[in-house]
Amino acid sequence: MATHIYGVRVLDVDPKELRVRFKVFAVYYDTGSEMFPPVPDDPAFFFFLLWEAAQPHASMEQRGPLARMLDVDTMLDFVWVEENARRFVSRIERVAGANHPPTPEQWERLHDFYYERDGAWKDEDLLVQFDYDVWVTDERCIESLKPGDAWGSAMFPMNADTWTADDAPHIPDLTKPARRIAPFAGKKGDFRRKQIRDVEFSDDGAYLAATTWDGFVWVYDTSDWSEVAHTRAGDRNVAMLMWVPGEPVLTVKSYSRLDDPEPLEQWAFDVRSGQETTAPYQHGHLRSLDGVHRITPNGGAEGGYDLHATDTLPQRTIAHAAGWDPIQCKAFSADGTRLFLGAQQNLFVVDPVTARVIDQVPGASDRLFHLASSPDGTYLAAASASRKLDYAGSFGGKRPHELCVWRTADHRIILGRQMTTYVSALAWSPDGRQLVAALEPCDENFANGKSELAVFTMDPTSPTDPPFPEA
């Protein structure tokens, strides 16, 4: 007998509203450890329930529309399910709940396993349970359902994409890069212990620069992604890129450690002439597109940053946390109105003028590694610890990153792709049309001259977006 994780009952079906109401019970417990399944607030979970209700193991004539269209192999491809659930389930809303979490008295009465018998489960009033309204995109998704239907399911919550048609023009298509660039390919030299550590677009988006930790530099023309320069910015320890505001002039500073004081010298390169040059000193670790706002680590008790003084503002300290919570990654929106800071698991949004935190997402990820903002800060790309390693591939001891897109207004990850590599840098073009990710192998080729640049263009909308082929 299969061990189910959840029990499901149909409470109501409204074909006109394209809505079904489910009651979902947790029916698997570890009473010794007082553990139970997570709350299934995930469209992929309910997409799978709709498919189960369509009787996928019955004869073809007895199956509902979803089971006729989607076979078992397709639905057990969890990556596909995560990517495509949004084509079938448009929205879910948890409308009620009970016994979450169980009280000590309830734990005394709970059993480890519960099985469906004639549409019911023993001790239903005791079980962790939730009611959900689920809206679908086509009436055929709920054609097989009627009130009172009940079954046990071994499905588990995943991390489905939830972007909408309104989001699509503004977010990258992470299905496949539009272009892959191998900076080290065909180059002579010893590239052991070499990897791309930073990528930055010029202010007008005409060029992308990339550098290694020790100062090897590439510049690409973004109109055709041809390489226009490959040079070295002297002998650097930790090389940091920064473009001169409004100019196709690239600067590189060298730090012994990232939290060291600013060096006294910088290297500058004029992309137009292809020659080293002199340029105004570029202060800080990161600047806004207009060059007004710049940040540098402050060595303070929070592990945070200071905003440099401007023509009208004094130096400001960003007080992002009440204790030690060191910043790992940062990104300005291109319009300069927001500064995003990733402090290990926590995400902060700062007003660069006041240096105040105006929004935050505690526990945004198990670990945030790199950030890149869309031009107006509506969306945020993040390389982070993966939510999907348990079911999205056979990675062994490797822990490749997940590349996500956050919608900042509602703090939701609306798009996520499990990578097979680490992501060592991110850059979103000033015009919002391209996202570049530096990819680093997480096997024996790590830091061995095998870095790639993946160029993603916007709009993940697919010709297969209608859920049914004839729709």
Q: Tens digits of per-residue pLDDT, 324-383? A: 889 999 999 999 999 999 998 999 999 999 999 999 999 999 999 999 999 999 999 999
What is the structure's pLDDT at 471?
44
Asked if 37 contacts 5 with a C-beta cutoff of 8 angstroms, the reply is yes
Say what the pLDDT of residue 332 is.
97
Q: Is the full-model pTM beyond 0.85?
A: yes
Asked if 305 contacts 294 with a C-beta cutoff of 8 angstroms, the reply is: no
How far is Cα 292 from Cα 352, in angstroms, rounded to an integer? Answer: 10
The predicted-structure confidence for 172-181, as pLDDT tens digits, reads as follows 999 999 999 9
Distance CA(286)–CA(371), nearest Å, equals 12
Give the model's pLDDT for residue 470. Answer: 57
Which backbone phi and psi does 346 adopt, to 5 degrees?
Answer: -110, 145
CA dist 106 → 110, 381, 413 (Å): 6, 43, 34
pLDDT in the model for residue 469: 64
- How far is residue 181 from each of residues 92, 197, 280, 309, 417, measured CA to CA in Å? 40, 15, 31, 38, 19
pLDDT score, position 262:
82
Name residues of the chain where pLDDT drops below 70. Answer: 1-2, 257-259, 463-466, 469-471
Average pLDDT value over all residues in the chain: 93
Determine the pLDDT at residue 464. 63
